[in-house]
Amino acid sequence: MRWTMSTSEQHLPPQAAAAAPGSAPRSVGTRAFSLAALLGTAGGLLWLAVAIVRVFTDSWIAPLALSPDSDAVLSLSLDLTRQRAEIGRVEAEVERYQAELAAIDSGLIRLRGLRDRGRAMYEYGADLRGGEAASLADQITHLREERVILDRLIERQRTETERARVNLGAGLIERRDEEREEQGLDNLLLRRTEIERSLADASSRRREASDAAEDFRAEIRGESSEAGMPEIVAREEADVRLEVEILRLEAERRGLVALVDVGARSLEELQSVMAQIEARPAFRATTEALDVAFVPYEQLDGVRPGARILDCELGIFACRDVGSVSDVLSGEVVTQDPWGELARGRYAVLALNDDTAVEERILRVR
C-alpha cells in the first residue's frame, strides 16, 4: 500500500515532519489540566455560592457570657432583692388587713347581738311593766273591796257611837265606854283614809306601768313613744350608739375588703413580674456561669433547641462547630444588636464546647 502525503506535510521542513508523531501526548495533558482547572473553578464557585446562600439562610446570634459577677446579673440581683422586699411588704399588709377584718367581723357579731338583746329588753320591759300593771290592778280591786267592807263597818260603828252617846246621857253607861266607841270609829275612819291613799298610789303606779308597757310595745313596733321614759330614752341612746358603731365598722370593713382585693391583685402582678425575672437567663446566672445569646425576631425561625452553632471567619470561611442551642427562652428582650441598633428578640441558652466562641461578635446557627 502506498501512502500519499498531504499537501501540508509536503511543505513541512524535515525537523517538523520528524517531530509530528510526538505532538499527540502533549495535547492530551494540556487538555486534562485545563479540565481540572475548569472543574476546580466550578467547584470553587459552587462552594462560594453555597457559602453565600448559607450566609443568607443561616441564622445569626449575638453570644453573651453571664456570671454572678456580671453587671447585668448584679443589677438583676438588686432588682430581685427589691422585688422580694416589695412582695413581702404587700403580703404583710394583706395579712394585717385580713386580721383587722377578722376582728371587725367578731366585733360586728357582738354588737349585733347586743342590738338584738336590746330589742329583747323592750319585750322584757313590756312584759315586766304589763305584769306590774296587772298586779296593781288586782291590788286596787282588793283595796276597793276592803274599802266597801270598811264603809259598812264605819256605818255600824257610827250607829254604836250614837247609841253610846244616848246611853251616856241616860246614865246607862260610863264615859269611858262612850269614848271607846268613838275611838273605834276614829280607827275605822283612819283605816279608810289609808286605803284611799293606797288606792290613789296604786292607781297612779298602775297608770305608769300601763303607759310604760305601751311605750315598750311601741318601741317594739318601731313607733316613737311620746312618754320619754328614762329607761326607754337610755335604751334608745344605747341603740343609737350601737347603730353608729355598727355602721362605722361596716364601712371600715368595706374599705379593708377593697384593700385586700388591691393587695391580692398587687401580689399577683408582683409574682408575675417575679416569674418573668426568674425566667431570664440572668437569674440563672446569679448562681452559675451561663452562655446565652440574643436572637432577633427575624433570626428566630432558624434557632431551635439542638441546632448547631458555627464560628466562621469573615462570616463564610473556615466554619467550625462550637456547640449547640440548649433552649430558647420565652419573653421579649429589647436590646442593642452587635451593630448598635435597637432590636427586639429573645434569649437562647447555649451549650458551647469552645469557651472562646462566646467572645465573637456573632455566631451562625444551622
Q: Which residue has the higher pLDDT, 101 or 4?
A: 101
309, pLDDT greater than 60: yes
Q: Give me 53's grid cell.
A: 446562600
Q: Scanning the structure block, which residue is given the C-alpha cell 313613744? A: 225
The candidate with the shortest Cα–Cα distance to 276, out of 330, 233, 349, 208, is 330
Average pLDDT in the 269-281 region?
Answer: 78
pLDDT tens string 10-21 = 444 444 444 444
Q: CA dihedral defined by 275, 277, 279, 284, rounded to 10 degrees?
A: -130
Class of domain 80-255: mainly alpha
pLDDT tens string 208-261 = 888 777 777 776 666 655 555 666 666 667 777 878 888 888 888 898 899 889
In percent, the amount of the chain with pLDDT more than 90 equals 1
Phi and psi at residue 343, to the nearest 5°: -140, 160
Rounded Cα gap, residues 168 and 182, in angstroms: 12
Can you give the pLDDT at residue 232? 62
For every residue of 340-359, DSSP letters joined together read S-EEEEEEEEEEES-GGGGG
For the chain, how big is the Rg over CA atoms in Å?
61
Cβ–Cβ under 8 Å, residues 189 and 154: yes
User: Average pLDDT of the chain?
Assistant: 77
Can you give the pLDDT at residue 197? 92
Rounded to the nearest angstrom, the gap between the alpha carbon of residue 295 and the centroid of all alpha carbons in its chain is: 37
Burial of 315 (0-12, 13-18, 19+ CB in 10 A): middle
Rounded Cα gap, residues 243 and 57, in angstroms: 78
Q: Scanning the structure block, which residue is given the C-alpha cell 250614837? A: 162
Q: Domain ranges in the chain?
A: 80-255, 289-365
Q: Give me 271's grid cell.
A: 409574682
Q: Looking at residue 223, what DSSP letter applies? A: P
Cβ–Cβ under 8 Å, residues 323 and 63: no
Q: Give me 112's grid cell.
A: 349585733
Average pLDDT in the 33-46 region?
Answer: 67
